[in-house]
Structure 1
Amino acid sequence: MSKFRKEFSHANPSLTQAITDVSISRRSMMKLLSAGAVMSTGLIGFPEFSYAAETPVLGGKLRAAVANASASDTLDPAKGSNSGDYCRLFMFYSGLTELDKDLKAQPALAESIESSDGLTWQVKLRQGVTFHNGKALTAEDVIYSLSRHKDPAVASTAITLAGQMKEFKAVSPSEVQIVLEQANFDLPSILATSSFLIVPDGTKDFTKAIGTGPFTLKEFQPGVRTVGSKNKNYYKPGLPRLDEVELMGVTDPAARVNALMSGDLQMVSTLSANDVKRLKQNGKFNVLESKSGMYSDLIIRTDTTPGNNADFVLAMKYLQPREMIVKTVLQGFGDVGNDTPVPPWHPMYNKELPQRPLDIDKAKFHLKKANMVGAKVEIITTPNIEGAVEGGQLIQQIARSAGLNVSVRRVPYDGYWSSHWMKDPVGYGSVNPRPTLDMLFSQFYLSTAPWNESGWKNEQFDQLVAAARGESDQGKRKQMYGDMQKLVYDNCGTLIPAFISSMDGCSNKVKGVEAWPSGMMMGYRFHEFAWLAS
């Protein structure tokens, strides 16, 4: 038995069985947490579901719900910032490229996109594509859609990525040339994200959501719901199969699952492990588990106290109960993290980094160096970030043995992202998967990144990000990304204990959907492929 387990066993012998009980439930874990216990359990998992090939049925209305809803819900691709926005935007717009289930960029509105040097790209547009208002797709629409992200007044969430694009030129009405500031062989994958979906030239009003996507806008109530009707002129033959999709925003996890089980909804995102168990026992529902790069991270701002003390940050890293979170909170639906945003199954993962353990003695050592033994630290959390409340409570209990007084304050989910995320000295965040490491690092870790959660700045890291974009040799690129992970691992203030499998639930009458690693709800595009069995 480890020293850590011995401490707790002697302090409270009645918990010894709970610590080693492989059948403990998440509810039991929360009860024990409230009593001041910390435990490590065995893995509870469920088999993957498989689907027999069937002939799609056309028509019908599908009602689905995501976990995000607020007054800031948007129909502007440049403003999308969460999974609800992404699903909504893909309903109405299409991109030049799109990601397949292997995370490879495939042609979409672009018939082809090619470059010999990663610097100058030739984009040939698909012929015969029209917007919802009947206007034909042209090169000018593409140039407008991409260039607007570079305008600070637009306040695009992709302004850093768009900054790589230096020049746009309409070679002909159906061909665009894109010249980058520096070579980046990931451009096709970048263009597949929701930010770079194509809108008509000159669009200022996004309330009508005029795009080339599979659905046309019927109704939009920010924070409540979005309704789309089938685009009969969609450029993909046979798609979409549904006549109508209603996308709800339901932030309460229990309400989402209850509505699914009652038949009010046919598909929901963001299931917990206990939700999966309920649906499995019922027998009338399917679950899609997608291994993904999604994570909930404990953010320690390194530009303010106490995070500006590197020893405090390192102490907190040694207090992370990584395996406990995967086994108990996620019930096995995830992977242990190592304080870098790259999951262990990723081809660019740096396997040379030693797995950082839960180590009370090392935490004590660094707290003493930081002169913070006996100090008080508050962690801000909110229930709708997967594993955040439980993770904070586990740290609270563990930290006592290291001499740190941690309090956990729950705040409402409504307004969390505007009032707390990246503002609190210590608090939780949640990051959805990105198709490339360049996008992930550019949006969250560069010194100039718009979502640099911990305020971390590292000149060497910035230089490596820029250099890797133009490296076509995959071996050299992997080494660069490995070096970047080492810098994050050693110095950054984002603590990543686990990667969370994306868990979506649907009625067994919903067909045509499957797990995709590019994001929840089939890479945010379930509505394009789903159909309802009669």
Structure 2
Amino acid sequence: MVMLITQACSTSNVEGGTASKQGGGSEGGVLKVVRLSDATNLDPHFITDIPSANVLYQKVYETLVAFDKDMNIVPSLAKSWEQPDDTTWEFTLNEGITFHDGSALNAEAVKVTFDRLLDPNTGSPQKDKLGMIKEINVLDDYKVQFKLDAPYAPLLSILASNEGSIMSPKVIKENPDSLAKHPVGTGPFAFESWKSGQSIILTKNEDYWGDKPKIDGIEFQVVPEDATRLAMIETGEAHISDQVPVTEIERIESSDTLNLYRTEGLAVEYVGFNTKKKPFDNVKVRQAISMAIEREAIIKGVYNGVGTLANAAMSPKVFGHSDNVKPYEYDPNAAKGLLKEAGFEKGLELTLITSDRKERINMAEVIQSQLKGIGIKVNIQVLEYGAYIEAVDTGEHDMFIGGWGNATGDGDYNQYNLFHSSSHGSPGNHFYYTNEKVDELIEQARREVSPEVRKDLYEEAMNIEMEEAVYIPIRNYEHLAVYNNEVKDFWLNAVNYLMVNDATIE
């Protein structure tokens, strides 16, 4: 796994470290986090977006193993693990841990969680991410065994992610549907309330088994207006926003009360085609549009230089990335020729959908202008985030502006979810792309033990996806957060999860 380099902190502009200043904050207080959009679901087995998972990850829910700041795997609910052979993993749990409802964490609780995830009747879009698990065995009260049907190199990275959240066995057995709105885990914060479209409140878990948080709770507030979120941070009405408009960077950096946190991420932003809909089932149409979009102009003009130009739907920070994958060059004349060959000499009309993030809307407008140059009329449809997720999950869109937030640092999380034919819809393949050769390469890479062979397999798959113009890579993410002088000792990990267990408020 490619490790994230943690850089040093400064007083007002933090690069990839921990947001901190001279002196320590006092314990207590509620950390107020303002966000563009509400969560879409609070059940980890059904969450398919990073903003929703961010509310719960390592806050309400914990995992058998976890990532440290450098994306190394470290113990969490499991204090140790071993691999007797290539297809067997055994985890020994910490003892004396309870869920927020008083249920005991033991090997049976772990089995109940993963049995639910893997049960076809559950209908979880996360199922295939751990579909190589053929059985889970309780060896004793605090030792659980995973038997796989084949070697699976990324297993620990998946178990350390939101998908690996361990949930209350009591709730799973008695009322599993309630987990969508009322999560119950073992974490340092317990769920208190969710007012849809307004706020989610978590409170300090006084019975937490590990180091207790220094703050009393967290309130995630939904504030759609960028300017309002920034003003709330500036006045102290809120403490952190992890969705920062790139147009406000200079203002933040020149402020005495605002501070900017920046760190390179694992996510990639792209323009995607619904390959099962006409005319996007024609590869020449997709190739033409790919050649007509000037990607560098989007990075500079829309994103103010935040992030870097992507060459694939896999960040350079993710294991399996390859510089040998080459996107289509900007060539509007060649694009016109391809449209003519595809039977659209007089042009065509399409709808481009995007979520309501300001930068995404601006990108859509730039694309609209660029495609006009080759005779394509683009109608832009801006959707609230939840409606956007529903639209791409159901597959009625033409083109879309999307992003994939890798949660593991491993290429399987990109390739299987974005391009495997079994991942159409909510698991992540919003391109509705099907290619038997690509499926085979992705499955081979999952089973392969050699890191170098895995890289070669991913490179071959990515080159096919690029040749067939399934998507247009735009930007490798740089994660930003703005915070005021009152909050200290939080950090963003490479996935863009807000880590606040050590945070303090002055």
Shared fold (TM-score, shorter chain, > 0.5): yes
Q: CA deviation at 1:245?
A: 1.1
* Residue in 2 that maps onto 1:66: 35
* Residue in 2 that maps onto 1:127: 95
Which of 74, 81, 106 is the equivalent residue of 2:48? 81
* Residue in 1 that maps onto 2:486: 509
Q: CA deviation at 1:469?
A: 1.9
* Residue in 1 that maps onto 2:447: 470
What is the SS of the residue equivalent to 1:496?
strand
* Residue in 2 that maps onto 1:341: 313
Question: Is residue 139 from structure 1 mapped to residue 113 from structure 2 by the alignment?
Answer: no
What is the number of equivalent residue pairs in this alignment? 480
Question: Is residue 408 from structure 1 mapped to residue 408 from structure 2 by the alignment?
Answer: no
What is the SS of the residue equivalent to 1:410?
strand
Which of 114, 127, 139 is the equivalent residue of 1:171? 139
Could you list the per-position Cα deviations for residues 50-75 of structure 1 after superposition, in whole angstroms to 9, with x for gaps in the alignment? 745654532111110232216xx333
TM-score by length of 1: 0.84
TM-score by length of 2: 0.89
Equivalent runs, 1:474-513 vs 2, <5 Å: 474-513=451-490
Which of 401, 413, 424 is the equivalent residue of 1:428? 401
Could you list the per-position Cα deviations for residues 355-378 of structure 1 after superposition, in whole angstroms to 9, with x for gaps in the alignment? 532211221221121121222222
The 3 A distance-change label for structure 1 pair 346 and 95 is closer
Q: CA deviation at 1:475?
A: 1.5
The 3 A distance-change label for structure 1 pair 457 and 428 is same
Tell me if structure 1 keeps the 8 A contact 2:283–2:469: no
Percentage identity across paired residues of the two chains: 23
Question: Is residue 180 from structure 1 mapped to residue 148 from structure 2 by the alignment?
Answer: yes
What is the SS of the residue equivalent to 2:146?
strand
Q: CA deviation at 1:249?
A: 2.5
The 3 A distance-change label for structure 1 pair 406 and 318 is same
What is the SS of the residue equivalent to 2:349?
strand
Q: What amino acid sits opposite 1:145 in the alignment?
A: T
**Structure 2: distance between partners of 1:409 and 1:231:** 42
Tell me if structure 2 keeps the 8 A contact 1:118–1:185: no
Could you list the per-position Cα deviations for residues 512-531 of structure 1 after superposition, in whole angstroms to 9, with x for gaps in the alignment? 12342122xxx24x232321
Q: CA deviation at 1:82?
A: 2.4
Equivalent runs, 1:87-236 vs 2, <5 Å: 87-90=54-57, 91-203=59-171, 204=176, 205-206=178-179, 207-236=181-210
Q: CA deviation at 1:420?
A: 5.1
Tell me if structure 2 keeps the 8 A contact 1:104–1:189: no
Question: Is residue 277 from structure 1 mapped to residue 259 from structure 2 by the alignment?
Answer: no
Tell me if structure 1 keeps the 8 A contact 2:293–2:371: no
The 3 A distance-change label for structure 1 pair 232 and 481 is same
**Structure 2: distance between partners of 1:135 and 1:434:** 28
Q: What amino acid sits opposite 1:477 in the alignment?
A: R
Q: What amino acid sits opposite 1:139 in the alignment?
A: A
Judging by fraction of residues, say which structure has more strand: 2
Could you list the per-position Cα deviations for residues 331-380 of structure 1 after superposition, in whole angstroms to 9, with x for gaps in the alignment? 11111122x21124545321122353221122122112112122222232
What is the SS of the residue equivalent to 2:491?
coil
What is the SS of the residue equivalent to 1:529?
coil
* Residue in 2 that maps onto 1:441: 415
Tell me if structure 2 keeps the 8 A contact 1:380–1:411: no
Question: Is residue 257 from structure 1 mapped to residue 230 from structure 2 by the alignment?
Answer: yes
Q: What amino acid sits opposite 1:176 in the alignment?
A: V
What is the SS of the residue equivalent to 1:226?
strand
Q: What amino acid sits opposite 1:500 in the alignment?
A: Y
What is the SS of the residue equivalent to 1:171?
strand
The 3 A distance-change label for structure 1 pair 129 and 410 is closer
Could you list the per-position Cα deviations for residues 404-450 of structure 1 after superposition, in whole angstroms to 9, with x for gaps in the alignment? 33333434545222235542112222322331211222222111013
Q: 314-323 or 428-437, which moves further after superposition? A: 428-437
Give the number of the structure whose alpha-carbon radius of gyration is greater.
1
**Structure 2: distance between partners of 1:137 and 1:233:** 13
Question: Is residue 286 from structure 1 mapped to residue 259 from structure 2 by the alignment?
Answer: yes
Question: Is residue 370 from structure 1 mapped to residue 342 from structure 2 by the alignment?
Answer: yes
Tell me if structure 1 keeps the 8 A contact 2:24–2:504: no
Question: Is residue 245 from structure 1 mapped to residue 218 from structure 2 by the alignment?
Answer: yes
The 3 A distance-change label for structure 1 pair 518 and 53 is farther
Tell me if structure 2 keeps the 8 A contact 1:376–1:407: no
**Structure 1: distance between partners of 2:487 and 2:234:** 13
Q: Which runs of 5+ in 1 are unaligned?
A: 1-45
Q: Which runs of 5+ in 2 are unaligned?
A: 1-11
The 3 A distance-change label for structure 1 pair 235 and 411 is closer
* Residue in 2 that maps onto 1:22: none
Tell me if structure 1 keeps the 8 A contact 2:280–2:286: yes
Q: What amino acid sits opposite 1:214 in the alignment?
A: P
Tell me if structure 1 keeps the 8 A contact 2:35–2:223: yes
Q: CA deviation at 1:135?
A: 2.9
**Structure 2: distance between partners of 1:192 and 1:345:** 17
Q: What amino acid sits opposite 2:87 in the alignment?
A: L
* Residue in 2 that maps onto 1:354: 326
The 3 A distance-change label for structure 1 pair 221 and 154 is farther
Tell me if structure 1 keeps the 8 A contact 2:302–2:362: yes
Q: 486-495 or 501-510, which moves further after superposition? A: 486-495
* Residue in 1 that maps onto 2:3: none
The 3 A distance-change label for structure 1 pair 288 and 517 is same
**Structure 1: distance between partners of 2:477 and 2:49:** 16
**Structure 2: distance between partners of 1:401 and 1:141:** 58
The 3 A distance-change label for structure 1 pair 477 and 389 is same
